[in-house]
Amino acid sequence: MSRKLILFFGVLLRMSKVRTRFAPAPTGIMHIGNIRTALLNYIFTQQYQGACILRIEDTDEKRNIDPQADQLIQHLTWMQLSFQEGPHVGGPYAPYFQSQRQPIYEQYLKTLQEKNLIYRCFASPEELETKRQRQLAMKQPPRYDRAYANLTPEQIQAYLDAKTPFVWRLRIDSNKLVSFADLARGTLTFDLKNFSDFPLTRQDGSFTFIFANCIDDIEMKISHVFRGEEHLSNTVHQIVLYQLLQAPLPIFWHTPILFNTNGKKLSKRDRGFSLEDLKNQGFLPEAINNYLMLIGNSFAHEIMSLEEITKNYNFNNLSTAGQAKYDIEKLLWVNHKWISKYNAKKLLELCLPFLEQAYPQTIKNISTEKLQYLLSKIQTDLHTLAEIVPALKFYFKYEQIHATLLASILPETQVVLFLEQVKQDIQQAVSEADFVQKCKQNKPALIASKEYWGALRFILTGSQIGLAIHDIVEGLGLEVARTRILNV
């Protein structure tokens, strides 16, 4: 089937029910790749007025660190992604935790067993690893060798009597080809001779991702499966299951894997990998959503709300590339643009938690109006909300400047002259504006303007760069500015 035909059937789906799912495992941090997958499922479903399902794939009990998926759901809520069905909203195909769906999997496993499509494999992990290493050493693809595929009933019973752990494996017909529709690439066909019998269960009796994931998609009538390129081989295995169970195939899309700017697969060592880290650094959910949808796409206007993204994202022109570049610098730019859009009230609401954490005592003594004024002066310089802390440090956490430090800014012979003049100006000033005006009028001719204003800014804030002098003085107030200057 060509891409055009697949897309044609996609259009027909507007008249039926589109059902997608985001199915994370609560086994680690929510990373940016997870969010991109969730976002694509969400947007596609919104375009087709369908249902997007949240399903928690928690069958690997040993690795679960968020058993109730509370943190996972909080992250998705923060990202403004809503689901029509899931553990927190219910739905007709509950439960939505895989750990609570064991009886369903057991019934499907029994069906496959009755049809002699599966068999017990008693190989230990050590035995499998030894064979794998041997195959690799011989430059052969590492595949299961079906060592336990044809045991006699007596041999099976002997293993069972000895209480030897086993897994159930699905028999693959290596003489067949399987095909399925991919939204980006059209029809994909694979020769099963390149795939080996795969496990449906673990030795502890729990079910594998490949099996449980497929059964849930069948049971929940999922029409489209969007997931990363790395799942392509899993899809082939699941197509075999779909066909053996005579279930209709969904349309797939294997999205590009995110790589960093050095061309390596994105990992936890890369800045911006963890959603929690991005949140703590002051990135906005609007900006993250916005940037993730820019990856590999071109839009007339790059800064878009989630509603605008949903309206403008084109699923009819998807890239066939296996990877996409994740550029934290571009994300910073998008975040900067979003920060610049907010009014003073909204920006203060977003920045306040960062200020309260950094300056818990002094923040209590500042008015909302003063905070909004200070924020308005630095808003266009912020790339993340966390940058508000060092940007306003001069107001909340000032360390008195010693005159000797000015020698690194001004010619040493001019330090005394400079201090005498600015101290005279601040003593005579009757307002913030009056002080700034006196400075402009009385600046000693011997001192260059850049050095003069840099030295004055250093006295007031502890840094030579930053806000304009009139904004600093206005923000501090005349009395605070006077104290800081006279104490040098």
Confidence band for 1, pLDDT divided at 50, 70 and 90: low
Contact 44, 309 (CB under 8 A): no
Residue 4 confidence (pLDDT) above 60: no
User: What CATH number matches the domain at 104-178+189-199, 3.40.50.300, 1.10.540.10, 3.90.1300.10, 3.90.800.10?
Assistant: 3.90.800.10
- Average the pLDDT over 33-55 and give the result: 96
Place of tokens 């789906």: 13
Give percent of the chain with pLDDT exceeding 70. Answer: 97
Predicted confidence (pLDDT) per residue in 135-148, tens digit: 999 988 888 999 99
Domain range list for the chain:
1-86+179-188+209-341, 104-178+189-199, 403-486
Predicted confidence (pLDDT) per residue in 150-187, tens digit: 999 999 999 999 999 999 999 999 999 999 999 999 99
Residue 415 confidence (pLDDT) above 50: yes
268 is catalytic: yes
Beta-carbon contacts of residue 349 (< 8 Å; ≥ 6 apart): none
pLDDT of 62: 73
Confidence band for 9, pLDDT divided at 50, 70 and 90: low
Residue 15 confidence (pLDDT) above 60: no
In the predicted model, what is the mean pLDDT of the chain? 93
pLDDT of 353: 96
Predicted confidence (pLDDT) per residue in 53-65, tens digit: 999 998 777 777 7
Predicted confidence (pLDDT) per residue in 344-378, tens digit: 899 999 999 999 999 998 888 899 999 999 999 99
pLDDT of 269: 87
Confidence band for 14, pLDDT divided at 50, 70 and 90: very low
User: What CATH number matches the domain at 403-486, 1.10.10.10, 3.40.50.150, 1.10.10.350, 2.70.98.20?
Assistant: 1.10.10.350
Which residue among the candidates 110, 265, 268, 346 is catalytic per the annotation?
268
Confidence band for 2, pLDDT divided at 50, 70 and 90: low
pLDDT of 11: 46
Lowest mean pLDDT segment, chosen from 39-53, 57-71, 140-154, 310-324: 57-71
pLDDT of 5: 54
- Average the pLDDT over 393-397 and give the result: 93
CATH superfamily assigned to domain 1-86+179-188+209-341? HUPs (3.40.50.620)
- Average the pLDDT over 207-223 and give the result: 96
- 16 CB burial (10 A radius; 0-12, 13-18, 19+): exposed
Confidence band for 46, pLDDT divided at 50, 70 and 90: very high
Contact 278, 30 (CB under 8 A): no
Confidence band for 276, pLDDT divided at 50, 70 and 90: very high
CA–CA separation, 65 vs 287, rounded Å? 28
- Average the pLDDT over 6-26 and give the result: 72
The yes-or-no answer to whether 104-178+189-199 and 403-486 have a common fold is: no
Confidence band for 306, pLDDT divided at 50, 70 and 90: very high
pTM score: 0.90
- Average the pLDDT over 295-320 and give the result: 92
Cα R_g (the chain), whole angstroms: 31
Give percent of the chain with pLDDT exceeding 90. Answer: 84
